[in-house]
Chain A
């Protein structure tokens, strides 16, 4: 064994990181946790209320509804964007002059600021002046996303799919380019069908990037705020009010800091939990192999 010198001053080296993390993450989070257990009337009068705000939030029917909508929205966009993204990626030429052009075109929606995306779709889908809205009405469909909740939902999902499918497609494309040509050649010679090529050649290589894609889209869509805020403002009624928007109304609109803080902590824990469950389920699936790591 090597005798390592013991020097406490080395801890100083960690200090900058510690400070940055403290100010950027730990302290703000702890402030929120602190708020969530107090009833704050003004700067000078605050009372400790324990877990009251948590209890109240979890029993709040508007929270539960918003949560339900949120889950439905996230699952819907995932169910569309992941398969669609893979499909787009498979359709892209692997190499050639068009590849980079198409990749750049694909990346454009990702580069547009979120409120601009909301505004584009807000105008695009309007039934009085928007190309899509007017077009649908001309076709005989009484489309109006400002009054019809279903239409509002469809518009939101279409917008999110337009905005984010590219991300999945780009990630999946990166995954597909990691498949050596010999694998396709081998599958062809084995007489594999198109589905088998996808299932046994491409999917195993896509696994890693798809986990990332699902995680990113799950977290992002679960936290979506700007686009529905610009597009529908949560309406009609509360039909498209998601968690973050309800939270904003509570914290910034009504200045209910205590309940909003409890809400935030619950929100944060949910996202953490989702990702943890998802990540672990994928990793467990990956690891389960009989006599997996044995070598000889």
Chain B
């Protein structure tokens, strides 16, 4: 296990005009579960390839426990990787697959045959795949294969970091949560440093201790899942995380909504952002509580997601003077009804902050 430090790490493909990865600095602590979350094209895979030694950084350094590994090959870095689809040695049994990383490095790790057997048995036990050990990959389901691939990544007790490249992509939805749980449990039990790359916010937020949200070759925010959800550092983070994402409303000083003077919004703020569940709907055309920021509008769509205390709850889309807003909570009013959106909480953003180019994709 190791501390992973990225120092001003950047990458530009040879001949490319634009860098794929802007200088990034992150520190990932020993034994931490770290997720890199971003849409495709955000630079996740490039960053992963830099970590795994497939690419050499254009500038900056990668440190494993303080040692510069930027120029080292993948095998020298002593890391393991789980890929999007299960990568196994097809001619070897599950047991031999699990033993492979240990026996291939026998000369370095000094493990004996019985040590290797014991370690394989331990990992197989943790993953609950003992009954599969004698089989060949061909006779396994996709889910089982990926379990074995995860096992192979975790089998080396001295591995510095385990990289996971969207490991649940190939697994059917029904078994996804199961695999994610096994992964999380193992990560905690073995105390392995893991870097989990995904475009799926649910995976990232449930798996990781900390999440790095990526867009356009940059890490926009690195924080705990709760922090990135509740206090997105930038608009894109708020927009990208959450389903639906944050609402944003432009505000102009002196335009009548007097949010600046009444609600403590910084004078540089140009937009307010709020989560769909941070607002409530009140029937009628007039704001009931003047102390709160509110906008009036018309219900255009009700998306019922369930019931609570016999009341339908879901997401209501309101079209009004603040544009299209989405509010989560009890369904209030049918399509066409006049409502007021009242904010309990919001975050203000100013224009200097980074905005991803594909903001409205």
Contact = CB atoms under 8 A, between A and B. Distances in A.
A9 interface: no
Nearest to B82: A186
A193 B100 CA distance: 11
B100 A192 contact: yes
Contacts of A296: 141
A293 B138 CA distance: 8
B81 interface: yes
Interface in B185-222: none
A295 B138 CA distance: 10
Interface residues of B, number: 30
Contacts of A289: 135-136, 138-139
A293 B139 CA distance: 6
B52 A189 contact: yes
Contacts of A180: 85, 87
A189 B136 contact: no
Given A185-B74, A189-B75, A191-B104, A291 B81 contact: no
B304 interface: no
A292 interface: yes
B92 interface: yes
B54 A204 contact: no
Contact of B105 (A183, A191, A203, A292): A191
A190 interface: yes
A191 B81 CA distance: 12
Contacts of B53: 188
B74 A196 contact: no
Contacts of B152: 190
Contacts, number: 71
Contact of B104 (A182, A183, A196, A295): A196
A188 B87 CA distance: 12
A182 B80 contact: no
A16 interface: no
B87 A203 contact: no
A192 to B, nearest CB: 5
Contact of B85 (A182, A188, A190): A182
Contacts of A196: 104
B136 A292 contact: yes
B83 A291 contact: no
B89 A200 contact: yes
A189 B139 contact: no
A182 B45 CA distance: 13
A168 to B, nearest CB: 21
Contacts of A200: 89, 91-92, 100
A191 B139 CA distance: 26
B261 interface: no
Contact of B83 (A186, A190, A205): A186
Contact of A186 (B87, B92, B138): B87
A180 to B, nearest CB: 8
A183 B87 contact: yes
B65 to A, nearest CB: 18
Contacts of B87: 180, 182-183, 186
A200 B135 CA distance: 16
B23 interface: no
A178 to B, nearest CB: 12
B73 interface: yes
Given A185-B54, A190-B80, A190-B104, 9 more contacts: A188-B73, A189-B75, A191-B104, A191-B108, A289-B135, A291-B135, A293-B139, A294-B139, A295-B141
28 contacts: A185-B52, A185-B54, A185-B74, A186-B81, A188-B74, A189-B52, A189-B79, A189-B80, A189-B101, A190-B75, A192-B100, A192-B104, A193-B104, A196-B104, A201-B89, A204-B91, A289-B135, A289-B138, A289-B139, A290-B135, A291-B134, A291-B139, A292-B135, A292-B139, A294-B139, A295-B139, A295-B140, A295-B141
The 8 closest A-B pairs by CB, nearest first: A190-B101, A204-B91, A191-B105, A191-B104, A186-B87, A204-B90, A200-B89, A182-B83
Interface of B: 52-54, 73-75, 79-81, 83-85, 87, 89-92, 100-101, 104-105, 108, 134-136, 138-141, 152
